[in-house]
Amino acid sequence: MESGTTFSYLPHTERDRTKMMEFLGISEVSELFSDIPESIRMNQPLQLQKAMSELELQRHMQRLAGQNQDLGQVVSFLGAGSYEHYQPSVVDALISRSEFYTAYTPYQPEISQGMLQATFEYQTMIAELTGMDVANASMYDGPTALAEAGIVCSSQTRRDKLLVASSLHPEYQAVLQTYASGQSIECVQVPTKDGVLNLEALEQLCDASVAGVIVQYPNFFGCVEDLQAIADMAHAAGALLVVSAYPVALGLLEAPGAVGADIVIAEGQSLGNAMAFGGPYLGMMAARKELMRRLPGRIVGQTTDGEGRRGFVLTLQAREQHIRREKATSNICSNQALNALAASIFLSYMGPEGMHQMALQNYHKAHYLAERLSALPGVQLAFDTPFFNEFVLRFKQPVAKLQAKLLEHGFLFGLALGKFYEELSDCVLLHVSEMRSREEMDALCSVLEAMA
């Protein structure tokens, strides 16, 4: 092929390489690395397999992929942050339209009105769902949104300590700790009692040095925290309350904003977004209006133009990409607008009644399975606290062997909690959504009963 060919996905020809080296005044490619000391160079070929043809590579990748078991092959009871929920076909149909699919950051509002309006509607629905005044648009995912919320607490109160419920998702805690360490913010873990935050311990720890209290609703164990009591303690000490919510649960549970939350964050994956091997996901964030100028990301506003026509603009842009770094609230510069659009379409399609019915199905199906399983010999509920659609079971037999055996029968049986909590090494966290049928749950119970 001639060197003038402009196919960017093809490698350089020998003629291309020769011309480039002549221009650089070198005779060997190795001369490009002359600045690297000889002592730290590898000086041997990489141990790589022989290159494959396109056909061979395709078959190789298919064999590797065949080792996976996806949700079309197993019945999943695994949740813990990424959830299998109903995805209406209208979501993919609309977000795949080129007007949305190719849209990026709306720097020029005069030619981005469609995307700006969609984002404005997203903010409105998230604020309504969470019971808050304003919502931004938007964050990477749930964990980074939580970390950013912790920083907002510190900047608003000018304090440097966060009280974090040990019932908060451990991976969210890890991300929060990473962010906090760079900001010289101290994270103090508050213990749990019967699966929820220990209010007596919180009362002892919550003093004038605390910037914010961070809880999950429902929490990592699926239990429902008493947000009002937690909010009262936090506010009495001059601290803010950050709630990491599960959007589907808000179709049934009281909105966090109605029971004292100052900032609400959430992982929006369950709202019309696929599990997709862990991403891309959608970080939701909403807050009281007093905190609006401290929120990271963007806020789209509604206005009128010179002729009185309705229009949309980026009202607030607190990212360092837009303003001076020392004035910025965040360096999050990704655009999750397509995921946010999927959530908007999902919420519009479901409506308030649809979200309520979906939440009811989650609640009742989870309680049906919990009752069936806890009646089996050697199985019991780990906590007596009310839960939504996730719950923790304790087993007398080894959890790892139990999960492996059930996988052989086609059941992905939850998350072994010993990975995160040593005292729960004999426990499994199970999730039940509207996707699970009574027949599937009964089949699981029959297999477990036979194993017992």
Instruction: Give per-residue burial for 69-82: e unless 16+ CB within 10 Å, then b.
Output: eeeeebbbbbbbbb
Distance from C-alpha of 389 to C-alpha of 301, rounded to nearest angstrom: 35
Q: What does the chain come to in residues? A: 452
In angstroms, how far is CA 217 from the centroid of its own chain? 14
Q: Which residues pair with 391 in a beta bridge?
A: 430
Predicted TM-score (pTM) of the model is 0.87
List the single range of 47-51, 218-222, 345-349, 382-386 with lowest mean pLDDT: 47-51
Is residue 114 within 8 A of residue 300, CB to CB? The reply is no
Among the ranges given (10-14, 35-39, 221-225), the one the predictor scored with the smallest mean pLDDT: 10-14
Task: Check whether 35 has a pLDDT greater than 70.
Answer: yes
Tell me what pLDDT residue 43 has.
Answer: 83
- DSSP H stretches of helix in 217-336: 227-236
Whether the Cβ atoms of residue 145 and residue 115 lie closer than 8 Å to each other: no
Q: Determine whether 228 is exposed, middle or buried from the number of CB atoms within 10 Å of its CB (0-12, 13-18, 19+).
A: middle
Instruction: Judge contact between 244 and 217, C-beta under 8 A.
Output: yes
Confidence label for 334 from pLDDT (cuts 50, 70 and 90): low
Which segment, 11-15, 138-142, 214-218, is predicted with the most confidence on average?
214-218
Name which of 257, 215, 226 is nearest 128 in CA terms.
257
Burial of residue 363, with CB atoms counted within 10 A of its CB: 0-12 exposed, 13-18 middle, 19 or more buried: buried
Q: Which residues are within 8 A (CB) of 415 and not within 5 positions of it... i.e. 6 or more apart?
A: 78, 79, 80, 428, 429
CA–CA separation, 254 vs 355, rounded Å?
A: 13
Q: Is the pLDDT of residue 6 over 70?
A: no
pLDDT band at 332 (very low <50, low <70, confident <90, very high): low
When pLDDT is averaged across residues 95-107 and rounded to a whole number, the result is 80
| Structure tokens belonging to residue 46 | 């990489």
CA 19 → CA 6, 26, 31, 197, distances in Å?
16, 10, 15, 68
State the CATH architecture for 89-347. 3-Layer(aba) Sandwich (3.40)
Taking 3-state DSSP, the helix, strand and coil percentages for the chain, each rounded to the nearest 5, stand at 45, 15, 40
The pLDDT-based confidence of 2 (bands split at 50, 70, 90) is very low
What confidence category does residue 112 fall into, taking pLDDT thresholds of 50, 70 and 90? confident
- Measure the CA–CA gap between 6 and 400, rounded to whole angstroms: 54
Q: Cis bond leading into 218, ω under 30°?
A: yes
- The predicted pLDDT at position 452 comes to 75
Q: Give the pLDDT score at 298.
A: 84
Average pLDDT rounded to a whole number, residues 150-169: 97
d(CA 170, CA 422): 13
pLDDT, tens digit (0-9, with 9 covering 90-100), for 291-302: 998 998 888 999
Asked whether 366 and 387 are in contact (CB, 8 A), the reply is: yes
Q: What is the largest CA-CA distance in the chain?
A: 79
The domain segmentation of the chain, as residue ranges, is 75-85+352-451, 89-347
E strand or H helix at 186, and its extent? strand 186-190
**What is the average pLDDT across 350-355?**
97
Res 431: pLDDT? 98
| pLDDT score of 326 more than 50 | yes
Q: How large a percentage of the chain has pLDDT more than 90?
A: 76
What average pLDDT does the structure give for the chain? Answer: 92
- Give the model's pLDDT for residue 265: 98
Most confident of 9-23, 53-67, 89-103: 53-67
In CATH, which of 1.10.10.1200, 3.90.1150.10, 3.30.1360.30, 3.40.50.10800 is domain 75-85+352-451? 3.90.1150.10
Dump pLDDT digits (tens) for 420-434: 999 999 999 999 999
Q: In whole angstroms, give the CA distance from residue 297 to residue 330.
A: 7
